[in-house]
Amino acid sequence: MFAGAQVSLYPMSDDFVDVILSSLSALDPWRDRLRIETDDISTLIVGPPEVLFPALRDLYAAAAGTGHHVVLRATLSRGCPGEPDDPICQTGALANPAEPLAERQAAARSAIADAPETGQQAAAQFSLYVMGAGDHMAEIMGCIDFLKSSGTFDRSKNFCTRLTGDAGPVFATLQQGFCRFGPPEGHVTIDLTVSANSPSTR
């Protein structure tokens, strides 16, 4: 399997370079379990979801901790048929869709309850795309039902769902949506925007 994210940080600050570079250092503890490549547009992070999402959480929390208005944009994908399998992505975190939906939803809620808090608030919106064989709408609707009972659900929006709360549970919610809905051998993607310290909320 291949799993990863293309991630970009956008600080609304004159010292945006320092914010980006200092925030990227939050990935250092994860580098031995991920493949990380940064260019002038984005940072590619490749690895298993159980490592990928905590790394993204720490990246976001570091940027949010600067106090500046910062936006993290990411496209996440697993099982893309256009990418070769990568041994670094081996994982046991993906749910079997043959498992009853209610059991997968309960396991996802339990994982969020155990998520550590970061002390940084996150406002996120994302869309889940389940592709390939099978009833993709049943999986997406099952994910939406899970989100509504996740404790991080804010509201449904056109084309996406909004989550709010501490970054720890918010990124744990995203991880569960990514891992527990859609077949493990299928192609699943997330389009994600997370905002910190927005002046619009003041």
Which pLDDT band, with edges at 50, 70 and 90, does 162 fall under?
very high
For the stretch 1-11, pLDDT in tens is 999 999 999 99
Residue spans per domain, the chain: 3-201
Q: Mean pLDDT across the stretch 173-185?
A: 94
The domain made up of 3-201 has a fold known as Alpha-Beta Plaits (3.30.70)
- What is the distance between the alpha carbons of residues 188 and 179, in angstroms, rounded to a whole number? 9
CB of 66 closer than 8 Å to CB of 84: no
What integer pLDDT is reported at residue 22 of this predicted model?
Answer: 95
Flag the least confident range among 42-46, 138-142, 176-180: 138-142
Among the listed residues 10, 24, 126, 7, the one whose alpha carbon sits nearest the alpha carbon of residue 68: 10
Which pLDDT band, with edges at 50, 70 and 90, does 77 fall under?
very high
